[in-house]
A and B are shown apart, each in its own frame.
Chain A
Amino acid sequence: MGHLHRGEEPDGVAPPPPAASALRRSLLYVPGNMPSMLQNIPIFAADAVIIDLEDAVPLGEKDAARRLVRRFLETYRERRQEVLVRINALDTPWGRDDLAAVLPALPDGIRLPKADTPEIVERLDTLLTEHEEALGVEIGRFRILPSIESALGVINCIDVAATSARILGLAFGAEDYTASMEIERTKTGEELFNARSRVVWAAKAAGVQAIDSIFSDVKDMEAFRREVELVKGLGYTGKSLVNPRQIEVCHDVFAPKAAEIEYALQVVDAIRRAREMGTGVISLGGKMVDAPVVKRALRVLRTAHAHGLVAAAPDEAVLHG
């Protein structure tokens, strides 16, 4: 059991975690029991990494992996990636010990497996608050990325998304989902269509991000690219990855196209001019530029900036004048 000690100090100071709205196109899984792979985390360009204490770690290595991950997090303080830890489910013998081991090393959040019901997320929320109090860090610092990966989870995901202010998004897990459905997962993914749609609705309705499942055939980059294109089209904002080789294609698909960037720049320019003229609304190419259009343009430019396609992302203040 993970015991809480009042006044336990966090292991040094970590920079504040990325904003809830930060860019999360790529979330790279790294096994928590492999030092050679953990040490390479800083070199890859994934927006976030998910250090795995769950499925990647055999039962006999759970303790060792926990210690290793904590040690790694302590050395990786100055980071330019978000770091989440996938713990074992809270109804297993390991879940609470996972939290107790890694939270003092201040990861940015927890990826919660099998978030089938709002109660499961609430339980984690409570535990995180207790740890935050014990560590003396800001309440709400540790974020949650629940995995929607069963039939029950898909049915409940609308409620799950609204459970906690810590939730930064919903992550769809197709491998466990197809297992729970007793169906095969295909490369074209027709069998996932309904579930994927429901998860992305739930995320959008709650105003959080939608992260798609892993694609495990690392050799088939073409099928991987088609899947990323598909989920981007459905509204997903990012994807979980199993291999660093997938980062480049993933980012490439999520990169805004030149015409999109050009239009976004025109929108921002138009709205700036409108503000200068003291009006809130202006038309561009015969279409009215209003708040949702500006918001979309800003998101495009923020992504474009991350891709190095524009020199600087514009200030959100443009939106409000």
Chain B
Amino acid sequence: MARNSLGRELPASFQGRPVVPYRDPWSVRPEGLRATRALKRVDPGQPKLVQNLQEAIERCGLRDGMTIATHHHLRNGDALLNHVVRMIDHMGLKDVKIASSSVHPVHAELVPLIREGVVTGLECGVNGLIGELCSKGELRCPITVRSHGGRARAVSSGQVPIDVAFLAAPACDEYGNLNGAHGPSAFGSMGYAFTDALHARHVIAVTDHLVPYPAAPASISQADVDWVVRMERLGDPGKIVSTTTRVTTDPVGLQIARYATQVIEASGYLKDGFSFQTGSGGTSLAVAENVRNLMRAQRIKGSFGCGGITGYFVDMLEEGLFQALFDVQCFDLKAVESIRRNRNHLEMSADTYANPFNAGAVVNRLDVVILGATEVDVDFNVNANTESNGLLLHNTGGHADTAAGAKLAIIVAPSMRGRLPIVRDAVTTVTTPGATVGAVVTERGIAVNDRHPELKAELLRRRAPVKDIRQLQREIEAVTGAPRPLEFGDEVVALIEYRDGTIIDAVRRVKG
């Protein structure tokens, strides 16, 4: 048992790898080379389109104990991962690891296959039931949670070798050129899939929309794709992207957004060249709306919007408020439609977005990012993985990456959820270290990290409701009371890997 610099107890090893405790966001220096794979040769006339998934898997030589991956742009509408694992089971393979970019509630279908030992490990974070069952000790399947940048690093460095990558391809030709912008399952940016295409030992493109050669644009090139397979439906289009994403109408959410906007204004970053990222939640979009109005009013010409892209950011691009958008994942139909036709709406790989060990990720160029939280603590550490009941229910996404990269990371969260206070003495699980967090904004006030004294002074000068984070905690607990601590067993069900590959926390089984 080891302890990291945040005092979190960690096991000595996990999933057969030694655990390196987290120290701080900047101390790890990468060593070694990028991972590589075997040279290949495909001769003229040799087909790549095969009859079915089983044939493609056989040609890749997938065996017991190997690692597969999919990407999560189909989100909760994804049919591919379930289909692949069912096929693997059908072929009698066992002990397979999944290193997808994320797993969603729709993949609860895998639970029986995990119980039967077809899948024996998850090299990625999970959303939904699988994490919940593991947290309760009802399912055994070690999980290593990674941020988007951390996954790109782990795969490109060879820490997590992918034997076969299955790329959901909304539009694809018979030789493997593919894109995400066209076809009935179009989801827009291929963001997370690029790392897999470049580094997996074998790459299978799976499509429900085979187009005549050559597919254009070729976001992912034929040179990286070994086999092409047709599938009737990649997923449920209604669940892949939202038809629209909307600003919240909840007065509490709007109040949080108002305060968060005050923080952005006071930061001094809102000027020509401004770069910005928010999520697609209603409160985040309300902040985006406020920022847009300010940029319009003050005639500010920003540099770029980044991350998962919504129609709001598309509007800002089209209004000339940003020069470009860096898009790793489209959140709604408007974003999909925009990436199809707007040359300044750039498709961005997860590696370019957030890998800490390349020659410079886009997050490094961010001024301000707005992020959510299930909990924060008095040291500004943020939990985005587990809920206050200790259950592992959320993947990290770009949380830790953007917080580390941006000049200012603003956490927005309601001060209480379901009678539980959001500000805690110590978060249940650390996703993002307080060292990379600038301010915590709730509807009851703004807490500024001491690492940003100028911001705090400016907010006070503007008569914003700035409070010490412990004062904020006391005010919230005056309403909710102090919650009873959770009880955990010794068994580690998941590790939270920081973006640099060190371990920032361990998730243990919840007792009772």
Contact = CB atoms under 8 A, between A and B. Distances in A.
Interface majority SS on B: helix, strand, loop or mixed?
helix
Interface in B420-469: 443-444, 462-463
Nearest to B255: A43
Interface in B238-271: 249, 251-252, 254-255, 258
Interface residues of A, number: 12
Nearest to A244: B251
A39 B444 CA distance: 11
A193 interface: no
Given A43-B443, A44-B255, A308-B463, A245 B249 contact: yes
Contacts, number: 23
Contacts of B444: 42-43
A228 to B, nearest CB: 18
Contacts of B12: none
Interface string A25-41: 00000000000000110
A38 B444 CA distance: 14
A302 to B, nearest CB: 16
A75 B479 CA distance: 9
A188 interface: no
A245 B479 contact: no
B251 A243 contact: yes
B443 A40 contact: yes
Contacts of B252: 40, 43
A42 B445 CA distance: 11
A44 B478 contact: no
A308 B255 CA distance: 18
A44 B251 contact: yes
B92 to A, nearest CB: 54
Contacts of B251: 40, 44, 243-245
Contacts of A44: 251, 255
B255 A75 contact: no
Nearest to B252: A40
B478 A245 contact: no
Interface string A281-321: 00000000000000000000000000010000000000000
A308 B258 CA distance: 16
A244 B478 contact: no
Interface in A64-88: 75
Interface in A1-39: 39
Nearest to B259: A43
A75 B258 CA distance: 26
Interface in A222-255: 243-245, 248
A151 B249 CA distance: 36
A37 to B, nearest CB: 9
A68 B10 CA distance: 46
B254 A245 contact: yes
A308 B460 CA distance: 12
Contact of A75 (B249, B462, B463, B478): B478
B479 A39 contact: yes
A43 B478 CA distance: 14
A281 B249 CA distance: 52
A165 to B, nearest CB: 34
A40 B258 CA distance: 15
A248 B255 CA distance: 10
Nearest to B249: A245
Contacts of A244: 251, 254-255
A40 B462 CA distance: 23
Contacts of A42: 444
Contacts of B443: 40, 43
A43 B255 CA distance: 8
A28 to B, nearest CB: 10
A42 B443 CA distance: 10
A244 B252 CA distance: 9
Contacts of A243: 251
Contacts of B249: 218, 245
Interface in B463-502: 463, 478-479
Interface string B208-219: 000000000000
A44 B258 CA distance: 11
Contacts of B479: 39
A69 to B, nearest CB: 16
Given A43-B255, A308-B463, 6 more contacts: A42-B444, A43-B444, A44-B251, A44-B255, A218-B249, A244-B254
17 contacts: A39-B479, A40-B251, A40-B252, A40-B443, A42-B444, A43-B252, A43-B255, A43-B444, A44-B255, A75-B478, A218-B249, A243-B251, A244-B251, A244-B255, A245-B254, A308-B462, A308-B463
Interface of B: 249, 251-252, 254-255, 258, 443-444, 462-463, 478-479
Q: What 5 A-B pairs come out closest when comparing CB atoms?
A: A244-B251, A43-B443, A308-B463, A39-B479, A43-B444
